[in-house]
Structure 1
Amino acid sequence: MGKQIIVKTLILFAMLGYGFASQAQVQVSARTDTDHIRIGEQVKLILSATVPNQGVGNVVFPQLPDSFSHWEVVSRTGLDTSAANGNKVFQQTLVLTSFDSGSWDLPALKFDVLNNGGVTDSAFTDSLRIEVGTVAVDTTKAFKPIKNVRSVPWNFWDYWLYFAIGFSVIIIGIGLLVYFRSRPKKAVVKPTAPAVPPYEVALLALKQLREEKLWQQGDVKQYYTRITDVLRAYFEQQFNIPALEQTSEELLQHIKPVTVLNQQRDRLRDLLTVADLAKFAKLHPTPEEHERALAQAFEIVEWTKPAVEKAKEAEKTNDAGKTEGAGN
């Protein structure tokens, strides 16, 4: 039991001796380049630590905040390293200023001594006192008048960038104007009249659609797409209405100036409504509605075909009636 106490005591004294030895080996200091400044002036605080090349791992410098007890840190340098008398010397310079008049202390600063990656001891500098004085004002002299606002003379080079941008915009605008005016205009291509009248093409397409029996085969969407496409193509060729590029509502608006076509407005609206619901809303019309849609398409084409063609057909019908009567 007594031996254990003796061993522990020896270890404790050894650790204390090592600590004192490390503290004695590391020398730290803090000094300023002046001990008196005026408000707003700057003072340099030089921190240094002398470390032997062997026996001490490293030293951690104190980290001063940007503002502390009447002082502001303006700037700080990195650590400068040099060698002297077999020792390593680390140095850092901080620039301080104060805006409070009086006698202010720079507190003692702590340096940590590192060995094997851990803090083993600390060393402290002495505190420093610096006088911060005010600016002397001579009250015996009269106050000077306030200076008038002075205007700065106009200088072209202060605004050259704005002039350059404006001039460039003008040049680009003139260039675009000249280009568009001098560009050859595209000749308007007039649509050539088809060899077969448009109404005959439409009637033939509707008859072919009826023979294909698409809705009977379950292809309802294609059935109504073909009906509306035939009518739209017919309107474009017969009345110069861009029907293929318009929605149903736009098409109904554009047929108003065409009297003969506008007379079929209600029938066309009913057909387009059912077709849009079948194509886009997946509506399944009844067989009667399928037949009525195709019949409406035939009626629209028959009603709107040119009056000359109607007169020719009427004349043919009359001739056929006369021939049949003469035969009887």
Structure 2
Amino acid sequence: MEVESPNLPISQSPHLPISLFLATLLLLLAAWPVRAQFSGNIDIAFTAPTDTLTVGDPVPLTLSVTYPADYRLTIPTLPKAWGDFEVRRQTEPETVPNPDGTQTTTQTIEVTLFAVGTFQTPPWRLTLRDATGKTMERAVPQVSLTVQSVLKEGDAQLRDIKPQAELPVPPVWPWVAAGLALAALLAWLGWRIARRLRRRIRPPAPVVPQPLFDPRPPHEIALAELARIEALDLPGQGRHKEYYTLVGDCLRRYLEGAYHIPAMDMTTAEIGRALRHTPLPPEHARRFTDLFAAADLVKFARLVPPLEEARAFIPQARDVILLTRPAPLPEAAGAVPLEAAA
């Protein structure tokens, strides 16, 4: 006897629901978010040097992330008020390569707490991106900290504020002594500078106006000029160069008037050669050149002679003028003196 199996429609086939389930599962896997496609080990550590502190103590929390070298890590900036914590400082991340081809990024986050109890850091996440641009987020482990009170158990009594600490005050007298010494030094330096300036800047010797023509003989003019210079007492004022210059010029003008030698335009050696052609005895001519040589040492070699030696220079010049003054001219025959005519 043959049994014929009934012809069932396709929609009633027992294998159709399984096929539909597999097809739906494949579609879901294809549409799974990109974050599930990351490969590589990612290690995140968030640690504190201690888990016990007192109110207000700063605690540096260290974040350490190890990840593949071709990944890019983004660490968010935490707000100042971070849950129960106060973020005081968040350093710049530092990344170093590892021998196994990974790299490690570290960052220090300094926080503090102002309440007593046990607290956990708020949840927060890091973002990583691989070489293809796909991103993922990873949660940072939480850190628990316990804040202990500085008061002893059962101690609720208020106490007075402690007085200010007394710092040792250094003695004042060394500063006063140093200030007086400095003031004395500055005063001494000022006196020295002023004295030097007074020596350099002195009023010129008074100039006596001379007539355009002086009828007196040259030796009388020279003797009068020496008397004027002597009255100034320039050596007593330390004005040696000016003193020797005036006396030397007086002798040169005397030689010009008495012996017609242009001595004002000559050097000492030239004057000595010119005196050889005058009726002056050699010893008198030598006295002129000796006086001019002494004046040259003061004027050009900056020699400062002793005071008595300097004051004796004018008497020496006066003596040589009196020794070398020309004899008066004889009166013409028949001339009548002015006194007799009167």
Shorter-chain TM-score bucket reads 0.3 to 0.5
TM-score with structure 1 setting the length: 0.42
Greater share of residues in helix: 1
* Larger Rg computed on CA atoms: 2
Q: TM-score, normalised by structure 2?
A: 0.41
